[in-house]
Structure 1
Amino acid sequence: MVRHLFRLIWNRKRSNVLLLSEIFFSFVVLFGVATLLFNFGRNYVQPFGFNHDNVWRLTIAAGQGEKCRAHRLDDVLRQVRALPGVQEIALTSFNTPFRFSTMNDDFARGTKKLSRVDRYDADDQYGPLFGLKLREGRWFNASDDAATRPLAVISQDTREALFGPGEPAVGKLFRTNHQFGGDAPKEYQVVGVVDKVRMGGDFAAPTPSVWVRLTAHDTTSWESATVLVRVAPGQGARLQQRIVHTVAGLTRQWSTQVYALENDRLDKLKPTLAPLIALAVVGIFLVVNVALGLFGVLWYNISQRRAEIGLRRALGATGPGIGRQFLGEVLVLTTLGVLAGSLLAVQFPLLGAFEIEPSVYLMAMLLATGIIYVLAAGCAWQPSRLAAAIQPAVALREE
């Protein structure tokens, strides 16, 4: 039966090549759309790795020609921490979670190298404020003031890349890896390892991260400071006003802006949702067009093959048999188109393209294959029924 179907398809190769091409390109486009949607969906369901609820971001800017001197900044932070409703406060770098600003560096240990690692400056309260979950070691504390070299906490994916899955990282050293000149390599000592984090937003993947301990004297050259404040649930504009007035009352010329990290998350979400919605619309539009195209081509083929159908019926073929023949031809053509598309799609996981997990590519291939087969079978069903209903005497009389 299958051999006979291949012969029929080969005999009509000129008309079938267009249908085969449509199936091939439809599979490729559906595979691409499904890969992106699966990848974003997979990231979306993963935990952030930190708790940003009720955390605000304060941007404190010194006056013109001034610096955020350590002693004055300490006074500001002490007064803000004392306000009712403020639970915890931490000093950090400008690249707080969900912002469009990043700070990257390359690190190495021995022959192992890791590029574009997210680097954050963080003080002793940063980890507890965000509830970062420690897997090894500890977070920074006051005893680290006596350390002879810079200290760092790393994420689990950074640990796996630089130290391997089985080697302990706490107490070990790693260094910056500047490929194109710049500063001399700087060594850091690991004091802790935390879970993977997704600070880029709802659809961002976990990224290797390093937190370098920030001490008070590091702020002497700052023209502005970024402060994280955890507040009690239910706090709002009234507390924000008190924070702004507190900073202004202590420093006179310093200015303060207060943002909730939840608002930063929503701002980061909007430009990401737009292309996702566009992809979904493209996918739906493609499915509808493929369905219409398949249905039209099959309908036209049946109208052109009425004489063949009448002759086969006259020779003893049954109506259901004719219907199965047309359905079989479509499924064989679909299989050929899907196989050709799969040969192209399988190159992406083999080459490790776009740093997407192979399982995402596999799920996208399965989804694209399923959609194409459902479309082909669904569109072939009604034309096949029409072919099965053709009476031999009527078909032959028309010829």
Structure 2
Amino acid sequence: MLRHLFTLIWNRKRANLLLISEVFFSFVVLFGVSAVLITTAKNYLAPHGFDYEQVWRLEVRAGQGLEMPRAELDDVLRQVKALPGVQTVALTSGNMPFIFNTNNSIFRYKGKESPTTNVYDADDHYAAAMQLQLREGRWFAPTDDGSNHRPVVISQDLRESLFGDAPALGKVFTYGVPGAEIKPENEFLVTGVVENVRMSSDFNAAEPAVWLRLLPYDTTHWETANVLVRVAPGQGGELQEKIARTVAGVTRQWTTEVRVMNDDRLSKRRYTLVPVVGLSIMGLFLIVNVALGLFGVLWYNISQRRAEIGLRRAMGATGASISRQFLGEMLVVTTLGVLGGVLLAVQFPLLGAFDLPAQRYLLAIAAATVAVYVITALCAWQPSRLAAAIQPAMALREE
């Protein structure tokens, strides 16, 4: 039976080559869409590595042309922390989670170079405010004040890229610029390792991260201070007004903006979801067009092969066998197109393209294969029924 199907396909090789090409390109597009959707879904379901609930983002700005002394800023933070409903206050850098502000670099340790790494400034209270999950070591503490190197905490993925399976605590690494002068402030001492974090958006994968300790009681003058405020459950606008008034009570020249981190997350989610939705719509549009094209081609094939069908029916073939023949031909043609697509798709995990795990590519190949077979089977079902219903006398008379 299979040999007979191949013979029929070869006899109509020009028309079937067009079908195979259509199936091939459909598979490739569906493979790409599936890879993106699977990656997005897995990222969305992965843990963030920190707790963004009940965290507010406080931005304090000095007046135009002014700077805020660190001692005065620390006094403001103490007053904010003393407010009822505030649990923890932490000073950090401007690249806070879920906003369009990044700061990244590359680091080096004994010839090993890290991937692009997010760099955050953090004080001793940052871990409590964000509820980071420690895997090794500890967070910053006053005992680090006398350190000869700048204390840092790194994420697990950065630890693996720099140190592999070797111990990381107590190791010193530097910026990854070859030939750059190594200064004491650019030598980083690992004091702790935390779980991987996803601070970009709900749909982005975890990225390597390092937190550099902000030295307390330094003489730096700040133009803008970024503060994380963890509040008790149920707090809202009233506490936000109290925080703004507390900051304004220090000096009227300072301005304050309070944002809820979860609102930032939802806003970033809507922005990053747009390309995913657009790609899904493109995939759906492709599926509809492929289905219509296949349906039309099969319908045309039946009209061109009515004499063949009538002859087979006259020789005793049943309607069910005619239907199976057309379904079988279409599935064989689909298999040839899918095999070409699979040969192309398996190059992605073999070459490590886009730094995605091989498992996601394999899932995308499986999803695209199933989708193509389902589409072609559905499109071939109705035309094959029409072929089975052709009566031999009618077909031969028309011929």
- TM-score, length-scaled by structure 2: 0.96
> Is contact 2:53-2:261 (8 Å) kept?
yes
Residue 197 of structure 1 corresponds to 197
Q: CA deviation at 1:351?
A: 1.5
Q: CA deviation at 1:316?
A: 2.9
Query: For residues 218 and 334 of structure 2, what CA distance do their matches in structure 1 show?
Result: 64
> Is contact 1:35-1:364 (8 Å) kept?
yes
Residue 233 of structure 1 corresponds to 233
How many pairs does the alignment contain?
398
Residue 171 of structure 1 corresponds to 170
Residue 75 of structure 2 corresponds to 75
> Is contact 1:67-1:220 (8 Å) kept?
no
Instruction: Map 1:381-396 to 2 at 5 A.
Output: 381-396=381-396
AA aligned opposite 2:223: E
Residue 56 of structure 2 corresponds to 56
Instruction: Map 1:81-120 to 2 at 5 A.
Output: 81-120=81-120
Query: For residues 219 and 397 of structure 1, what CA distance do their matches in structure 2 show?
Result: 101
Q: CA deviation at 1:66?
A: 2.2
Q: CA deviation at 1:218?
A: 5.2
Q: Secondary structure at the match of 2:106?
A: strand
Q: CA deviation at 1:390?
A: 1.5
Query: For residues 119 and 226 of structure 1, what CA distance do their matches in structure 2 show?
Result: 15
AA aligned opposite 1:22: E
Q: Which runs of 4+ in 1 moved over 3 A?
A: 179-185
Query: For residues 78 and 200 of structure 1, what CA distance do their matches in structure 2 show?
Result: 29
Query: For residues 365 and 256 of structure 2, what CA distance do their matches in structure 1 show?
Result: 51
Q: CA deviation at 1:222?
A: 2.3
Q: CA deviation at 1:68?
A: 2.2
Flag structure 2 segments of 5+ consecutive residues without an equivalent.
Answer: none
Residue 5 of structure 1 corresponds to 5
Query: For residues 370 and 218 of structure 1, what CA distance do their matches in structure 2 show?
Result: 62
Query: For residues 30 and 306 of structure 2, what CA distance do their matches in structure 1 show?
Result: 34
Q: Which moved more, 1:274-283 or 1:145-154?
A: 274-283
Q: CA deviation at 1:319?
A: 2.0
* Cα deviations by residue, 1:56-80 (Å, 9 ceiling, x for unpaired): 1111111233222111111111111
Q: CA deviation at 1:90?
A: 0.4
> Is contact 2:9-2:329 (8 Å) kept?
yes
Query: For residues 347 and 334 of structure 2, what CA distance do their matches in structure 1 show?
Result: 20
RMSD (Å) for aligned C-alpha atoms: 1.5
Query: For residues 36 and 302 of structure 2, what CA distance do their matches in structure 1 show?
Result: 38
Cα 1:88/1:219, change in 2 over 3 Å = farther
Residue 280 of structure 2 corresponds to 280
Instruction: Map 1:277-356 to 2 at 5 A.
Output: 277-356=277-356
Instruction: Map 1:140-159 to 2 at 5 A.
Output: 140-159=140-159
Q: Secondary structure at the match of 2:222?
A: coil
Q: CA deviation at 1:356?
A: 1.6
Cα 1:37/1:193, change in 2 over 3 Å = same
> Is contact 1:88-1:230 (8 Å) kept?
yes
Q: Secondary structure at the match of 2:47?
A: coil
Residue 361 of structure 2 corresponds to 361
> Is contact 1:68-1:219 (8 Å) kept?
no
* Cα deviations by residue, 1:259-313 (Å, 9 ceiling, x for unpaired): 1101111111111111222122222222222111111111110010001111222
Flag structure 1 segments of 5+ consecutive residues without an equivalent.
Answer: none
Q: CA deviation at 1:97?
A: 0.6
Instruction: Map 1:123-162 to 2 at 5 A.
Output: 123-162=123-162
Residue 210 of structure 1 corresponds to 210
AA aligned opposite 1:108: R
Q: CA deviation at 1:182?
A: 8.5
Q: Secondary structure at the match of 1:115?
A: coil
- TM-score, length-scaled by structure 1: 0.96
AA aligned opposite 1:137: G
Q: Secondary structure at the match of 1:268?
A: helix
AA aligned opposite 1:116: T
Q: Secondary structure at the match of 1:71?
A: helix
AA aligned opposite 2:325: Q
AA aligned opposite 1:129: A
Q: CA deviation at 1:181?
A: 5.8
Q: CA deviation at 1:393?
A: 1.6
